[in-house]
Structure 1
Amino acid sequence: MPQSTMCFLRILWVCLATTTGYSQSRTDAFLTNLFSSNQNPVFQQVIRHAETHRLQLIYTQINRDKNNKPSFKNYYFRVDSTEFFSPASTVKLPLALLSLEKLNSLNMPKVNKFTTMQFDSAYSGQTREWTDNTSQNGYPSIAQFIKKAFLVSDNDAYSRMYEFLGQGQINRALHAKGYLDTRITHRFVRMTSDENRRTNPIRFIDTTGKLLYAQPADYNKDAFDFTRIARIGTGYYTGKDSLVHESFNFTERNKMPLETFQQILQSVMFPLSVPAKQRFKLTNGDYAFLYQYLSQFPGETNYPKYDAKQYYDSYVKFFFMDSLHHQLPEGVRVFNKVGWAYGFMTDASYVADFKNNVEYMLTATVYVNSDGILNDDKYEFESIGNPFMYQLGQTIYQYELKRKRIYKPDLKSFKVHYEKRLNDNRQVVKDVVN
């Protein structure tokens, strides 16, 4: 075959891979062998049919040197950035980080994560938000939104951070940090693409009501690249409960590959371990705040005062969501963010076991929708998704408990002084939209 022809074919293959989404997923034999040790029926069912369940996962092994400096080794199972999954609430993590970064960039000491915010409306679909009865002072703030987004995955909190940042700024900032295949296009309320390009006027005020900073309504003029089509399922229900017999189109929805999700969490927990451009410009106070609310339990929190029975300790800790006990092992804290929607369950976690001096990261997504119909609320979260994620978490955790380390990690930088629930007469918060 002539050299010119071979060159042309190589270029053609690259173009096809780019435009059609074709690529080869990565799987390490180490994980395949490790998973064979867990013969739980649900776990093995998902592993055997990993393609059907669109399973992807990254296990990040962390080793320390004599100076306690960490190094990271990733093991992959079916990881493919071109295989779409719905990121759902996982995108609340980057928006929380970008919100803190934006506040810091304003360089206005009186405008910080605890400063009162008020949202007005200036376009169709937009709503006002001037008060928040779940906060201690009765008003919204970035700090309160982050708490709610992390503790129980509150959707309104995400939408308000989206409005503070603006669609264009969100995507430009993430792309500048190297997360090029990530796309944030919408709030978590029903809106048109035009409405999602527009964000509300916002003001920050002090305790007397004095204006500190006003942010005008904004419009994103940047174009999105929607050339890679993402369609899933065999049918879906519309908002009017009509069944449409065709795959659901995610092409213009939010997108965040699993590796990006893992890297964003690693950038928070171990900022010096990622390239400088991937880090978020945060203060020491920001990191302390994030570590607390990424790992604090809803039942430990006073504002918001969540129903501890409904929002139990492992409520948003998928890898430790034991259906019987709802508690984590003694000494274990999980710093993580989850998302679940359209049959997808996703979690990125940094696990710290202070009793046994164990640490690692685990990131995974799984799809549990056997009938292929979306928006019918007949996903197998309870029967397959939750048990699988728990078994996956236990497989890695039990392996880590036995894994030999040259140097035990010193985890004191992740020890947090958590809140204690006050015994007051306030009503608990139930039935959050998440």
Structure 2
Amino acid sequence: MNRSLLLFALLFYFGKASIAQERTDKSLREILTKAGNDNLNQVLRNPDQYRVQIIYTEINRDKHNKPSFKNHYFHYDPKLYFNPASTVKLPLAFMALEKLNTIQQKGIDKHTPVVFDSSNVGQKPLHTDASAAGGLPSIAHFIRRALLISENDPYNRLYQFVGQQEINRSLRRRGYGGSRIVRQFAGYTTEQNRHTNAFRFLNADGSTRYSQPSLYNPDPIDFSEEIKLGNAHFDSRDSLVNGPFDFTGHNKLPLEDLQQLLQSVMFPASVPKKQRFNLTPDDYDFLYRYLSQYPSETPYPKYDTTEFYDSYVKFFFRDSTHRMPEQVRVFNKVGWSYGFLTDVSYVVDFENQVEYMLTATVYVNSDGVLNDGKYEYDTVGYPFLYNVGQIIYKHELGRERKHKPDLSAFKIKYEKRDPQDTRPVLTEVDN
């Protein structure tokens, strides 16, 4: 083969390899485009501009109610970076409960008060939590706050509790080699994020029952892949920089990993044993409740339900009414940051005996400037995810099933607010 032909063959091979990363299934494309509107079709026609990725997971049951799963993809590419934002709180909740089960200290569980000390430069202590029933922090309350409306400091505390080293070793053990969680939402440097705060679990009298010193992650982190987006950005000093924003050292969670993480907890028997978390039946019940419960149902924290309405973190059902269908529950986690909107959901309609999973991300930043707070969340992003969600929901309502699912495992006895509770509501949080 002469040099020209060899060069052409190599270009063809590597070009084909790069194109092959992106996956779109004809069936999902047809479902979306046939039912789509102008907002949705605008995004679907420009998937590279909007960095859109969608995974629709069809669930079918056999006569014994055993589920099987089939993923359908639109523009899915594990190499196409999106900022996972608050979706990283999902695996952190799982890992924190798992760590509690490995501590195995008598009298310590997710409800035991835990306090954090300041162990290194820049760290902040935490000894009280006014939003909790007893006024003290706990792993359970961090998870509530991280899932119900996606508060940030609870995520930081779960990160400190598990530790950067164990977080990323856990991801690798479970086969999520393309994922990493290396940053808290606290403005820390890469080096500062390697350190964790010391923490102490407390007895009823305030004495220490169990403690862990500050930890440091010595494991190398692979930042060899450069990830830069945009035309310009504002830096930490609010100065405009005429160059792309650098995501190279940020958290990373490919969409299929995110989908599989949620599936591993909603349906642990459906994934390989190495992907399952070491959780108790009570842990699963706890997670199912707070993945699907509404702020209006939750007494602690007592959120303002005008600001934090029922569909606030249910992007596939978030419309102008702010209400959720009575017969539907969504077990999910969302994230929004830097112009990215993401949702990973397991949806159940108990009345119509419908279930499915839907995971999607979209990037809405038409001016190409990051960190300026100017993103098209309201005009493009939220409407797009709502439209995708409603199209798939209606498709599922009409899809024939050989066996109707028994969904009783996901019927939760939700909390109720006391109408006589006169405590002030929380109107402002960091999320």
Give the superposition deviation at 1:109: 3.3
Give the superposition deviation at 1:111: 1.2
**Residue number in structure 1 paired with 2:109:** 112
**Residue number in structure 2 paired with 1:62:** 59
One-letter amino acid of the counterpart of residue 377, structure 1: G
1:337-390 per-residue CA deviation (whole Å, 9 max, x = no partner) reads 000000000000000001110000000000000000000111000000000000
Give the superposition deviation at 1:239: 2.2
Q: Is 1:406 matched with 2:402? A: yes
Q: Is 1:89 matched with 2:86? A: yes
Contact conserved, 1:28 with 1:76, CA < 8 A, in 2?
yes
**Residue number in structure 1 paired with 2:342:** 346
Q: Distance in 2 between matches of 1:195 and 1:13?
A: 42
Q: Is 1:331 matched with 2:330? A: no
Q: Distance in 2 between matches of 1:89 and 1:418?
A: 24
Secondary structure at the counterpart of residue 50 of structure 2: coil
Contact conserved, 2:303 with 2:426, CA < 8 A, in 1?
yes
Secondary structure at the counterpart of residue 219 of structure 1: coil
One-letter amino acid of the counterpart of residue 416, structure 1: I
Q: Is 1:215 matched with 2:212? A: yes
**Residue number in structure 2 paired with 1:375:** 371
**Residue number in structure 2 paired with 1:164:** 161
Give the superposition deviation at 1:238: 1.3
1:213-271 per-residue CA deviation (whole Å, 9 max, x = no partner) reads 11000111111111111111111001222110111110110000000000000001000
Match among 279, 283, 286 for residue 289 of structure 1:
286
**Residue number in structure 2 paired with 1:420:** 416
Q: Distance in 2 between matches of 1:182 and 1:365?
A: 16
Q: Distance in 2 between matches of 1:274 and 1:138?
A: 38
**Residue number in structure 2 paired with 1:392:** 388
Give the superposition deviation at 1:39: 3.4
Give the superposition deviation at 1:330: 2.2
Secondary structure at the counterpart of residue 51 of structure 1: helix
Contact conserved, 1:38 with 1:44, CA < 8 A, in 2?
no
**Residue number in structure 1 paired with 2:95:** 98
Q: For the aligned residues, what is the CA RMSD?
A: 1.9
Match among 12, 16, 37 for residue 34 of structure 2:
37
**Residue number in structure 2 paired with 1:128:** 125
Q: Distance in 2 between matches of 1:254 and 1:133?
A: 30
Q: Distance in 2 between matches of 1:109 and 1:357?
A: 42
Give the superposition deviation at 1:317: 0.3
Match among 134, 144, 159 for residue 147 of structure 1:
144
Contact conserved, 1:201 with 1:217, CA < 8 A, in 2?
yes
One-letter amino acid of the counterpart of residue 188, structure 2: M
| Residues 191-340 of structure 1: pairs in structure 2 closer than 5 A | 191-323=188-320, 325-340=321-336
Secondary structure at the counterpart of residue 159 of structure 2: helix
One-letter amino acid of the counterpart of residue 387, structure 1: P
Q: Distance in 2 between matches of 1:144 and 1:236?
A: 35
Q: Distance in 2 between matches of 1:52 and 1:40?
A: 18
Judge which range, 251-260 or 239-248, deviates more: 239-248
Secondary structure at the counterpart of residue 118 of structure 2: coil
Give the superposition deviation at 1:193: 1.2
Unaligned runs of 5+ in 1: none
Secondary structure at the counterpart of residue 345 of structure 1: strand
One-letter amino acid of the counterpart of residue 382, structure 2: N
One-letter amino acid of the counterpart of residue 359, structure 1: E
Q: Distance in 2 between matches of 1:295 and 1:431?
A: 22
Q: Give the paired residue count.
A: 426
Secondary structure at the counterpart of residue 347 of structure 2: strand
Q: Distance in 2 between matches of 1:106 and 1:239?
A: 38
Contact conserved, 2:101 with 2:279, CA < 8 A, in 1?
yes
Q: Distance in 2 between matches of 1:23 and 1:185?
A: 29
Compared with structure 1, are the counterparts of its residues 48 and 369 closer, same or farther at alpha carbon in structure 2 (3 Å cutoff)?
A: same
Contact conserved, 1:205 with 1:211, CA < 8 A, in 2?
yes
Give the superposition deviation at 1:432: 1.1
Q: TM-score, normalised by structure 1?
A: 0.95
Q: Distance in 1 between matches of 2:392 and 2:269?
A: 25
One-letter amino acid of the counterpart of residue 290, structure 1: L
Q: TM-score, normalised by structure 2?
A: 0.96
